[in-house]
Chains A and B, each alone.
Chain A
Amino acid sequence: MGAERSRASRTAAALLAAAFALPLAALVVRAFADEWRAPAVVPQQFGLRGVHETFSSMSLEAFGNSLLVAGLTLAAALALGWPAARVLGERRLRHPALIFGLLALPLLVPSYATGTGLTEWFLRFGLADSLLALVLAHLVLVLPYVVVVLLAGFGPALRDLEEMGDVHGLSRPARLWLVTLPAVRPTLAAAALVGFLVSWSEYGSSLAVGGGRPMLPLVLLPFVGSDPEVAAALSLLFLLPAVAALVAATRAAREPL
Protein backbone atom coordinates (compact mmCIF):
# COMPACT_ATOMS: atom_id res chain seq x y z
CA MET A 1 0.00 0.00 0.00
CA GLY A 2 2.73 2.37 0.97
CA ALA A 3 4.88 1.57 -2.02
CA GLU A 4 2.00 2.09 -4.43
CA ARG A 5 1.10 5.40 -2.96
CA SER A 6 4.68 6.45 -3.13
CA ARG A 7 4.94 5.48 -6.79
CA ALA A 8 1.78 7.36 -7.64
CA SER A 9 2.96 10.41 -5.82
CA ARG A 10 6.32 10.14 -7.47
CA THR A 11 4.74 10.16 -10.92
CA ALA A 12 2.51 13.03 -9.94
CA ALA A 13 5.50 14.95 -8.70
CA ALA A 14 7.45 14.23 -11.85
CA LEU A 15 4.58 15.35 -14.05
CA LEU A 16 4.19 18.52 -12.08
CA ALA A 17 7.84 19.34 -12.28
CA ALA A 18 7.92 18.68 -15.99
CA ALA A 19 4.87 20.83 -16.56
CA PHE A 20 6.69 23.71 -15.02
CA ALA A 21 10.01 23.18 -16.70
CA LEU A 22 8.92 22.33 -20.20
CA PRO A 23 7.69 25.65 -21.52
CA LEU A 24 11.10 27.12 -20.93
CA ALA A 25 12.62 24.62 -23.29
CA ALA A 26 10.97 26.59 -26.08
CA LEU A 27 13.20 29.48 -25.13
CA VAL A 28 16.28 27.47 -25.88
CA VAL A 29 15.03 26.63 -29.33
CA ARG A 30 14.06 30.23 -29.99
CA ALA A 31 17.53 31.44 -29.21
CA PHE A 32 18.97 29.48 -32.09
CA ALA A 33 16.23 30.07 -34.58
CA ASP A 34 16.92 32.65 -37.21
CA GLU A 35 13.45 32.10 -38.57
CA TRP A 36 10.60 30.51 -36.72
CA ARG A 37 7.17 31.53 -37.79
CA ALA A 38 3.79 29.83 -37.72
CA PRO A 39 2.70 27.29 -38.67
CA ALA A 40 6.08 25.62 -38.37
CA VAL A 41 6.59 23.55 -35.26
CA VAL A 42 10.29 23.45 -35.90
CA PRO A 43 12.19 26.57 -36.87
CA GLN A 44 12.49 27.22 -40.55
CA GLN A 45 16.06 28.29 -40.17
CA PHE A 46 18.59 27.87 -37.45
CA GLY A 47 21.36 30.35 -36.92
CA LEU A 48 23.73 32.07 -34.59
CA ARG A 49 22.66 35.69 -34.84
CA GLY A 50 21.34 35.65 -31.32
CA VAL A 51 24.43 34.04 -29.98
CA HIS A 52 26.51 36.65 -31.69
CA GLU A 53 24.78 39.33 -29.71
CA THR A 54 25.24 37.39 -26.52
CA PHE A 55 28.96 37.54 -26.83
CA SER A 56 29.16 41.21 -27.70
CA SER A 57 31.24 43.29 -25.35
CA MET A 58 28.25 45.15 -23.99
CA SER A 59 26.44 41.98 -23.05
CA LEU A 60 29.44 40.50 -21.34
CA GLU A 61 30.16 43.69 -19.47
CA ALA A 62 26.53 43.80 -18.41
CA PHE A 63 26.76 40.22 -17.25
CA GLY A 64 29.76 41.01 -15.09
CA ASN A 65 28.21 44.13 -13.63
CA SER A 66 24.97 42.43 -12.76
CA LEU A 67 26.82 39.59 -11.12
CA LEU A 68 28.91 41.96 -9.05
CA VAL A 69 25.99 44.02 -7.90
CA ALA A 70 23.86 41.00 -7.12
CA GLY A 71 26.64 39.44 -5.09
CA LEU A 72 27.28 42.55 -3.05
CA THR A 73 23.61 43.16 -2.51
CA LEU A 74 23.06 39.61 -1.38
CA ALA A 75 25.90 39.76 1.10
CA ALA A 76 24.60 42.98 2.58
CA ALA A 77 21.03 41.72 2.66
CA LEU A 78 22.00 38.57 4.49
CA ALA A 79 24.15 40.46 6.95
CA LEU A 80 21.36 42.88 7.74
CA GLY A 81 18.48 40.54 7.35
CA TRP A 82 19.70 37.80 9.61
CA PRO A 83 19.53 39.74 12.86
CA ALA A 84 16.31 41.39 11.78
CA ALA A 85 14.66 38.10 11.04
CA ARG A 86 15.91 36.58 14.25
CA VAL A 87 14.56 39.28 16.43
CA LEU A 88 11.27 39.37 14.59
CA GLY A 89 10.91 35.64 14.48
CA GLU A 90 11.68 35.08 18.09
CA ARG A 91 9.16 37.68 19.06
CA ARG A 92 11.57 39.63 21.16
CA LEU A 93 10.09 42.92 20.16
CA ARG A 94 7.33 44.76 21.82
CA HIS A 95 5.77 45.92 18.61
CA PRO A 96 6.82 43.58 15.87
CA ALA A 97 3.96 44.50 13.61
CA LEU A 98 5.22 48.01 13.06
CA ILE A 99 8.77 46.99 12.33
CA PHE A 100 7.64 44.20 10.10
CA GLY A 101 5.37 46.54 8.26
CA LEU A 102 8.17 49.00 7.64
CA LEU A 103 10.48 46.28 6.47
CA ALA A 104 7.91 44.81 4.16
CA LEU A 105 6.91 48.11 2.61
CA PRO A 106 9.11 47.80 -0.48
CA LEU A 107 7.43 44.51 -1.16
CA LEU A 108 4.00 46.01 -1.23
CA VAL A 109 4.67 49.20 -3.08
CA PRO A 110 5.17 48.93 -6.84
CA SER A 111 8.87 48.97 -7.47
CA TYR A 112 8.57 51.87 -9.85
CA ALA A 113 7.49 54.09 -6.99
CA THR A 114 10.28 52.98 -4.71
CA GLY A 115 12.75 53.33 -7.51
CA THR A 116 11.80 56.87 -8.45
CA GLY A 117 11.90 58.03 -4.89
CA LEU A 118 15.28 56.49 -4.31
CA THR A 119 16.69 58.01 -7.46
CA GLU A 120 15.83 61.41 -6.28
CA TRP A 121 17.47 60.89 -2.91
CA PHE A 122 20.60 59.49 -4.39
CA LEU A 123 20.82 62.40 -6.75
CA ARG A 124 20.46 64.80 -3.87
CA PHE A 125 23.24 63.18 -1.97
CA GLY A 126 25.43 62.97 -5.00
CA LEU A 127 25.48 59.22 -4.76
CA ALA A 128 23.91 58.48 -8.08
CA ASP A 129 25.74 56.54 -10.72
CA SER A 130 28.08 54.96 -8.23
CA LEU A 131 28.33 51.30 -7.39
CA LEU A 132 27.25 52.08 -3.87
CA ALA A 133 24.04 53.65 -5.09
CA LEU A 134 23.26 50.65 -7.22
CA VAL A 135 23.85 48.25 -4.37
CA LEU A 136 21.77 50.34 -2.00
CA ALA A 137 18.93 50.61 -4.47
CA HIS A 138 18.94 46.87 -4.97
CA LEU A 139 19.24 46.34 -1.25
CA VAL A 140 16.01 48.19 -0.64
CA LEU A 141 14.19 45.63 -2.72
CA VAL A 142 16.16 42.59 -1.73
CA LEU A 143 16.20 43.01 2.03
CA PRO A 144 12.46 42.57 2.53
CA TYR A 145 12.39 39.42 0.49
CA VAL A 146 15.34 38.00 2.39
CA VAL A 147 13.81 38.83 5.74
CA VAL A 148 10.46 37.39 4.76
CA VAL A 149 12.02 34.13 3.70
CA LEU A 150 14.31 33.92 6.71
CA LEU A 151 11.39 34.56 9.00
CA ALA A 152 9.82 31.39 7.77
CA GLY A 153 12.68 29.48 9.27
CA PHE A 154 13.55 31.36 12.40
CA GLY A 155 11.46 30.99 15.47
CA PRO A 156 11.25 29.75 19.03
CA ALA A 157 12.23 26.32 17.82
CA LEU A 158 15.59 27.63 16.81
CA ARG A 159 16.10 29.32 20.12
CA ASP A 160 15.32 26.10 21.91
CA LEU A 161 17.90 24.30 19.83
CA GLU A 162 20.45 26.92 20.66
CA GLU A 163 19.67 26.71 24.33
CA MET A 164 20.30 23.04 24.13
CA GLY A 165 23.66 23.86 22.67
CA ASP A 166 24.35 26.27 25.48
CA VAL A 167 23.41 23.67 28.02
CA HIS A 168 25.98 21.41 26.51
CA GLY A 169 28.60 24.03 27.04
CA LEU A 170 29.18 25.09 23.44
CA SER A 171 30.96 28.36 22.87
CA ARG A 172 29.24 31.00 20.77
CA PRO A 173 31.07 30.36 17.50
CA ALA A 174 30.84 26.63 17.99
CA ARG A 175 27.16 26.92 18.63
CA LEU A 176 26.75 28.91 15.48
CA TRP A 177 28.59 26.38 13.41
CA LEU A 178 27.26 23.19 14.90
CA VAL A 179 23.73 24.06 15.82
CA THR A 180 22.40 27.20 14.21
CA LEU A 181 23.70 26.99 10.68
CA PRO A 182 22.74 23.40 9.97
CA ALA A 183 19.30 24.01 11.41
CA VAL A 184 18.58 26.99 9.22
CA ARG A 185 20.39 25.84 6.14
CA PRO A 186 17.31 25.29 3.97
CA THR A 187 15.90 28.64 4.94
CA LEU A 188 19.21 30.34 4.39
CA ALA A 189 19.56 28.74 1.01
CA ALA A 190 16.08 29.82 -0.02
CA ALA A 191 16.68 33.35 1.22
CA ALA A 192 19.99 33.60 -0.61
CA LEU A 193 18.36 32.35 -3.77
CA VAL A 194 15.48 34.80 -3.62
CA GLY A 195 17.81 37.65 -2.75
CA PHE A 196 20.12 36.91 -5.61
CA LEU A 197 17.28 36.55 -8.10
CA VAL A 198 15.59 39.78 -7.16
CA SER A 199 18.78 41.72 -7.59
CA TRP A 200 19.74 39.85 -10.73
CA SER A 201 16.42 40.67 -12.40
CA GLU A 202 16.05 44.23 -11.23
CA TYR A 203 15.46 46.65 -14.08
CA GLY A 204 13.91 49.89 -12.88
CA SER A 205 16.43 50.87 -10.23
CA SER A 206 19.40 49.75 -12.29
CA LEU A 207 18.33 52.07 -15.06
CA ALA A 208 17.53 55.01 -12.87
CA VAL A 209 20.55 54.86 -10.59
CA GLY A 210 23.14 53.01 -12.59
CA GLY A 211 24.27 55.97 -14.63
CA GLY A 212 24.59 54.11 -17.86
CA ARG A 213 26.44 51.17 -16.37
CA PRO A 214 25.36 48.20 -18.49
CA MET A 215 23.37 45.62 -16.57
CA LEU A 216 21.97 42.49 -18.09
CA PRO A 217 18.26 43.22 -17.64
CA LEU A 218 18.78 46.65 -19.17
CA VAL A 219 20.45 45.22 -22.25
CA LEU A 220 17.91 42.43 -22.51
CA LEU A 221 14.66 44.29 -22.13
CA PRO A 222 14.73 46.46 -25.26
CA PHE A 223 15.01 43.34 -27.38
CA VAL A 224 12.01 41.62 -25.85
CA GLY A 225 9.26 41.88 -28.39
CA SER A 226 11.25 43.62 -31.06
CA ASP A 227 13.78 40.89 -31.74
CA PRO A 228 12.74 37.52 -30.34
CA GLU A 229 15.84 35.64 -31.33
CA VAL A 230 18.27 38.00 -29.67
CA ALA A 231 15.96 38.29 -26.70
CA ALA A 232 15.87 34.53 -26.31
CA ALA A 233 19.64 34.25 -26.61
CA LEU A 234 20.24 36.97 -24.06
CA SER A 235 17.65 35.33 -21.85
CA LEU A 236 19.66 32.18 -21.85
CA LEU A 237 22.72 34.12 -20.83
CA PHE A 238 20.61 35.72 -18.19
CA LEU A 239 19.19 32.46 -16.94
CA LEU A 240 22.51 30.71 -16.64
CA PRO A 241 23.57 32.09 -13.28
CA ALA A 242 19.99 32.21 -12.13
CA VAL A 243 19.49 28.52 -12.72
CA ALA A 244 22.90 27.78 -11.28
CA ALA A 245 21.88 29.62 -8.14
CA LEU A 246 18.69 27.62 -8.06
CA VAL A 247 20.52 24.35 -8.28
CA ALA A 248 23.00 25.40 -5.63
CA ALA A 249 20.21 26.40 -3.34
CA THR A 250 18.30 23.17 -3.74
CA ARG A 251 21.45 21.25 -3.06
CA ALA A 252 22.16 23.23 0.06
CA ALA A 253 18.61 22.85 1.21
CA ARG A 254 18.58 19.10 1.05
CA GLU A 255 18.32 17.39 4.38
CA PRO A 256 21.78 16.15 5.29
CA LEU A 257 20.67 13.06 7.13
Chain B
Amino acid sequence: MIVVLFGGALAGALRTSLQPLDGPVSLQTWRELLADPAFGQALSFTARIAGLATAASAILALVIALVLRRHGGALRALLALPVPVPHLLVAVVAVLWLAPGGLAERLLGVLPVDLVHDRAGLGIVAVYVYKETPFLVLLLLAAAGRGLAQREEMAAALGVSRAQRLRWVIWPALRGPLVVGSIVVAAFVLGAFEVPQVVGPTSPLTVAEYARQATENDLIGGEGLRAAALLVSAAAAIALAALAVRLAKDVDGR
Protein backbone atom coordinates (compact mmCIF):
# COMPACT_ATOMS: atom_id res chain seq x y z
CA MET B 1 0.00 0.00 0.00
CA ILE B 2 2.74 2.36 0.96
CA VAL B 3 4.49 1.61 -2.28
CA VAL B 4 1.40 2.46 -4.25
CA LEU B 5 1.02 5.57 -2.22
CA PHE B 6 4.57 6.63 -2.80
CA GLY B 7 4.00 5.99 -6.44
CA GLY B 8 1.06 8.30 -6.26
CA ALA B 9 3.05 10.87 -4.40
CA LEU B 10 5.80 10.66 -6.96
CA ALA B 11 3.29 11.10 -9.71
CA GLY B 12 1.97 14.06 -7.81
CA ALA B 13 5.42 15.51 -7.60
CA LEU B 14 5.81 14.91 -11.29
CA ARG B 15 2.66 16.80 -11.92
CA THR B 16 3.65 19.75 -9.85
CA SER B 17 6.89 20.04 -11.71
CA LEU B 18 4.80 20.42 -14.79
CA GLN B 19 3.80 23.95 -13.99
CA PRO B 20 4.67 26.35 -16.76
CA LEU B 21 8.02 27.42 -15.43
CA ASP B 22 8.77 28.93 -18.78
CA GLY B 23 11.63 31.25 -19.40
CA PRO B 24 9.18 34.12 -19.83
CA VAL B 25 8.53 34.21 -16.11
CA SER B 26 11.62 36.26 -15.51
CA LEU B 27 12.34 38.98 -13.05
CA GLN B 28 11.25 41.48 -15.67
CA THR B 29 7.80 39.93 -15.79
CA TRP B 30 7.47 40.06 -12.04
CA ARG B 31 8.49 43.68 -11.95
CA GLU B 32 5.93 44.50 -14.58
CA LEU B 33 3.29 42.59 -12.72
CA LEU B 34 3.92 44.23 -9.39
CA ALA B 35 4.14 47.69 -10.89
CA ASP B 36 0.72 47.47 -12.45
CA PRO B 37 -1.84 49.06 -10.13
CA ALA B 38 -4.56 47.01 -11.74
CA PHE B 39 -2.91 43.91 -10.41
CA GLY B 40 -2.96 45.18 -6.85
CA GLN B 41 -6.62 45.94 -7.23
CA ALA B 42 -7.17 42.51 -8.67
CA LEU B 43 -5.44 40.89 -5.72
CA SER B 44 -7.49 42.60 -3.06
CA PHE B 45 -10.69 42.16 -4.99
CA THR B 46 -10.06 38.47 -5.51
CA ALA B 47 -9.11 37.99 -1.89
CA ARG B 48 -12.26 39.68 -0.72
CA ILE B 49 -14.46 37.62 -2.98
CA ALA B 50 -12.77 34.37 -2.10
CA GLY B 51 -13.05 35.07 1.59
CA LEU B 52 -16.68 36.04 1.43
CA ALA B 53 -17.69 33.20 -0.85
CA THR B 54 -15.87 30.56 1.16
CA ALA B 55 -17.13 31.77 4.49
CA ALA B 56 -20.69 32.08 3.31
CA SER B 57 -20.71 28.67 1.65
CA ALA B 58 -19.09 27.00 4.61
CA ILE B 59 -21.54 28.40 7.12
CA LEU B 60 -24.51 27.79 4.92
CA ALA B 61 -23.34 24.28 4.14
CA LEU B 62 -22.92 23.48 7.80
CA VAL B 63 -26.39 24.66 8.63
CA ILE B 64 -27.93 22.84 5.72
CA ALA B 65 -26.05 19.65 6.44
CA LEU B 66 -27.32 19.71 9.99
CA VAL B 67 -30.85 20.26 8.82
CA LEU B 68 -30.74 17.70 6.07
CA ARG B 69 -29.03 15.04 8.11
CA ARG B 70 -32.07 13.05 8.75
CA HIS B 71 -33.92 13.57 5.55
CA GLY B 72 -34.20 11.34 2.63
CA GLY B 73 -32.44 11.03 -0.66
CA ALA B 74 -34.94 12.98 -2.72
CA LEU B 75 -34.36 16.23 -0.89
CA ARG B 76 -30.65 15.74 -0.90
CA ALA B 77 -30.70 15.07 -4.61
CA LEU B 78 -32.63 18.25 -5.29
CA LEU B 79 -30.29 20.28 -3.19
CA ALA B 80 -27.30 18.81 -4.90
CA LEU B 81 -28.51 19.79 -8.33
CA PRO B 82 -26.06 22.67 -8.79
CA VAL B 83 -23.14 20.36 -8.26
CA PRO B 84 -23.04 18.80 -11.70
CA VAL B 85 -23.54 22.12 -13.39
CA PRO B 86 -20.24 23.64 -14.44
CA HIS B 87 -19.48 27.07 -13.06
CA LEU B 88 -19.85 28.75 -16.37
CA LEU B 89 -23.36 27.50 -16.83
CA VAL B 90 -24.30 28.56 -13.36
CA ALA B 91 -23.00 32.00 -14.12
CA VAL B 92 -25.05 32.12 -17.29
CA VAL B 93 -28.15 31.03 -15.44
CA ALA B 94 -27.40 33.67 -12.85
CA VAL B 95 -27.32 36.30 -15.54
CA LEU B 96 -30.52 34.93 -16.95
CA TRP B 97 -32.19 35.48 -13.60
CA LEU B 98 -30.43 38.32 -11.89
CA ALA B 99 -29.34 40.74 -14.56
CA PRO B 100 -31.33 43.86 -15.27
CA GLY B 101 -33.90 42.58 -17.69
CA GLY B 102 -33.48 39.11 -16.30
CA LEU B 103 -36.19 36.82 -15.14
CA ALA B 104 -36.14 38.02 -11.58
CA GLU B 105 -36.78 41.55 -12.68
CA ARG B 106 -39.43 40.47 -15.12
CA LEU B 107 -41.25 38.63 -12.37
CA LEU B 108 -40.81 41.09 -9.55
CA GLY B 109 -41.01 44.27 -11.52
CA VAL B 110 -37.86 45.79 -10.19
CA LEU B 111 -34.65 44.54 -8.70
CA PRO B 112 -33.60 46.28 -5.48
CA VAL B 113 -29.94 45.51 -5.66
CA ASP B 114 -27.40 45.30 -8.43
CA LEU B 115 -26.10 41.82 -8.65
CA VAL B 116 -24.57 41.56 -12.05
CA HIS B 117 -21.46 43.56 -12.84
CA ASP B 118 -21.58 45.27 -9.52
CA ARG B 119 -18.31 46.68 -8.27
CA ALA B 120 -18.55 44.89 -4.97
CA GLY B 121 -18.56 41.58 -6.74
CA LEU B 122 -21.68 40.40 -4.94
CA GLY B 123 -22.89 38.66 -8.04
CA ILE B 124 -19.74 36.62 -8.19
CA VAL B 125 -20.07 35.69 -4.54
CA ALA B 126 -23.70 34.74 -5.00
CA VAL B 127 -22.91 32.44 -7.89
CA TYR B 128 -20.10 30.75 -6.03
CA VAL B 129 -22.18 30.31 -2.91
CA TYR B 130 -24.95 28.82 -4.97
CA LYS B 131 -22.59 26.39 -6.62
CA GLU B 132 -20.26 25.49 -3.77
CA THR B 133 -22.67 25.13 -0.89
CA PRO B 134 -24.18 21.92 -2.25
CA PHE B 135 -20.70 20.59 -2.89
CA LEU B 136 -19.75 21.22 0.72
CA VAL B 137 -23.01 19.78 1.93
CA LEU B 138 -22.33 16.59 -0.01
CA LEU B 139 -18.91 16.38 1.51
CA LEU B 140 -20.24 16.89 5.00
CA LEU B 141 -23.05 14.44 4.61
CA ALA B 142 -20.63 11.85 3.34
CA ALA B 143 -18.60 12.30 6.48
CA ALA B 144 -21.61 12.31 8.78
CA GLY B 145 -22.78 8.86 7.89
CA ARG B 146 -24.25 6.25 10.06
CA GLY B 147 -21.61 6.25 12.74
CA LEU B 148 -22.27 9.82 13.60
CA ALA B 149 -25.99 9.31 13.94
CA GLN B 150 -25.40 6.39 16.25
CA ARG B 151 -23.01 8.31 18.41
CA GLU B 152 -25.41 11.18 18.59
CA GLU B 153 -28.18 8.89 19.67
CA MET B 154 -25.99 7.40 22.31
CA ALA B 155 -25.17 10.82 23.58
CA ALA B 156 -28.81 11.79 23.59
CA ALA B 157 -29.63 8.63 25.47
CA LEU B 158 -27.01 9.56 28.01
CA GLY B 159 -28.78 12.82 28.56
CA VAL B 160 -26.41 15.11 26.78
CA SER B 161 -28.13 18.34 25.79
CA ARG B 162 -28.60 19.44 22.19
CA ALA B 163 -26.02 22.17 22.30
CA GLN B 164 -23.48 19.93 23.89
CA ARG B 165 -24.13 17.20 21.36
CA LEU B 166 -23.51 19.72 18.67
CA ARG B 167 -20.25 20.79 20.16
CA TRP B 168 -18.74 17.52 21.20
CA VAL B 169 -20.13 14.89 18.90
CA ILE B 170 -21.12 16.47 15.64
CA TRP B 171 -18.64 19.28 15.23
CA PRO B 172 -15.47 17.20 15.57
CA ALA B 173 -16.69 14.79 12.96
CA LEU B 174 -17.61 17.48 10.49
CA ARG B 175 -14.80 19.84 11.12
CA GLY B 176 -12.16 17.98 9.11
CA PRO B 177 -14.11 17.67 5.87
CA LEU B 178 -15.40 21.20 6.28
CA VAL B 179 -11.93 22.64 6.53
CA VAL B 180 -10.63 20.62 3.63
CA GLY B 181 -13.66 21.41 1.53
CA SER B 182 -13.40 25.09 2.31
CA ILE B 183 -9.79 25.13 1.26
CA VAL B 184 -10.73 23.54 -2.04
CA VAL B 185 -13.46 26.09 -2.55
CA ALA B 186 -11.23 29.02 -1.66
CA ALA B 187 -8.49 27.79 -3.94
CA PHE B 188 -10.92 27.36 -6.77
CA VAL B 189 -12.41 30.81 -6.37
CA LEU B 190 -8.95 32.30 -6.32
CA GLY B 191 -8.04 30.68 -9.58
CA ALA B 192 -11.13 30.60 -11.78
CA PHE B 193 -12.09 33.23 -14.30
CA GLU B 194 -15.30 32.06 -15.96
CA VAL B 195 -17.69 33.30 -13.31
CA PRO B 196 -16.16 36.74 -12.85
CA GLN B 197 -15.99 37.11 -16.59
CA VAL B 198 -19.71 36.62 -16.94
CA VAL B 199 -20.98 38.22 -13.77
CA GLY B 200 -18.20 40.45 -12.55
CA PRO B 201 -17.50 44.14 -13.01
CA THR B 202 -15.31 45.55 -15.73
CA SER B 203 -13.08 46.86 -13.03
CA PRO B 204 -11.73 45.66 -10.71
CA LEU B 205 -10.91 42.32 -12.27
CA THR B 206 -10.04 39.14 -10.49
CA VAL B 207 -6.52 37.81 -10.71
CA ALA B 208 -7.58 35.00 -12.99
CA GLU B 209 -9.29 37.40 -15.37
CA TYR B 210 -6.28 39.66 -15.25
CA ALA B 211 -4.12 36.72 -16.20
CA ARG B 212 -6.40 35.86 -19.08
CA GLN B 213 -6.46 39.40 -20.41
CA ALA B 214 -2.71 39.53 -20.34
CA THR B 215 -2.63 37.18 -23.30
CA GLU B 216 -5.75 38.38 -25.02
CA ASN B 217 -3.93 40.74 -27.27
CA ASP B 218 -0.31 39.98 -26.84
CA LEU B 219 -0.47 36.29 -27.18
CA ILE B 220 3.10 35.23 -26.76
CA GLY B 221 4.58 38.12 -24.85
CA GLY B 222 1.67 38.15 -22.48
CA GLU B 223 2.12 34.56 -21.48
CA GLY B 224 4.76 35.52 -18.98
CA LEU B 225 2.42 37.90 -17.21
CA ARG B 226 -0.32 35.35 -17.27
CA ALA B 227 1.89 32.67 -15.78
CA ALA B 228 3.15 35.05 -13.14
CA ALA B 229 -0.32 36.14 -12.12
CA LEU B 230 -1.52 32.57 -11.92
CA LEU B 231 1.48 31.60 -9.85
CA VAL B 232 0.52 34.31 -7.41
CA SER B 233 -2.95 32.92 -6.95
CA ALA B 234 -1.56 29.42 -6.72
CA ALA B 235 0.87 30.53 -4.06
CA ALA B 236 -1.94 32.20 -2.18
CA ALA B 237 -4.01 29.05 -2.30
CA ILE B 238 -1.14 26.93 -1.12
CA ALA B 239 -0.36 29.30 1.69
CA LEU B 240 -3.98 29.24 2.71
CA ALA B 241 -4.05 25.49 2.69
CA ALA B 242 -0.91 25.23 4.74
CA LEU B 243 -2.28 27.68 7.25
CA ALA B 244 -5.54 25.85 7.57
CA VAL B 245 -3.82 22.53 8.00
CA ARG B 246 -1.60 24.00 10.68
CA LEU B 247 -4.63 25.41 12.48
CA ALA B 248 -6.44 22.11 12.27
CA LYS B 249 -3.45 20.35 13.75
CA ASP B 250 -3.27 22.74 16.64
CA VAL B 251 -6.88 22.35 17.47
CA ASP B 252 -6.87 18.66 16.92
CA GLY B 253 -3.64 17.82 18.59
CA ARG B 254 -2.92 15.40 15.81
Query: Direct A–B touching in the complex (beta carbon < 8 Å)?
Result: yes
Interface residues on A, range: 35 or more
Evaluate contact between A107 and B187: CB separation under 8 angstroms: yes
Q: Tell me the smallest distance from the CB of B47 to a CB of chain A, in Å.
A: 15
Evaluate contact between A20 and B79: CB separation under 8 angstroms: yes
Number of interface residues of B (CB under 8 A): 84
List chain A residues, Cβ under 8 A from B5: 83-84, 87-88, 93, 99
Evaluate contact between B77 and A108: CB separation under 8 angstroms: no
| Other A-B pairs beyond A101-B238, A112-B191, A112-B211, 14, CB < 8 Å | A24-B81, A24-B82, A83-B5, A84-B8, A87-B1, A102-B13, A108-B191, A148-B184, A149-B139, A151-B180, A190-B142, A201-B84, A243-B81, A254-B73
B143: which of A140, A152, A245, A257 is its contact (CB, 8 Å)? A152
Complexed CA–CA distance, A194 and B247 (Å): 26
Complexed CA–CA distance, A110 and B92 (Å): 21
Please report the number of residue pairs spanning A and B whose Cβ atoms sit closer than 8 angstroms. Answer: 231
Q: Digitize B75-112: 1 where CB-to-A-CB distance is under 8 Å, 0 elsewhere.
A: 11111111111101100111011000111011100000
Evaluate contact between A190 and B138: CB separation under 8 angstroms: yes
B interface residues with partner A (beta carbon < 8 Å) = 1-2, 4-6, 8-9, 12-13, 15-16, 18-21, 64, 67-68, 70-73, 75-86, 88-89, 92-94, 96-97, 101-103, 105-107, 130, 133-135, 138-139, 141-143, 145-147, 176-177, 180-181, 183-184, 187-188, 190-192, 198, 208, 211, 227, 230-231, 233-234, 237-238, 241-242, 245, 254
Which of these binds chain B: A55-63, A113-121, A173-181? A113-121
Complexed CA–CA distance, A2 and B241 (Å): 41
Given contacts A26-B93, A110-B234, A149-B139, contact A17 B8 (CB under 8 A): no
List chain B residues, Cβ under 8 A from A254: 72-73
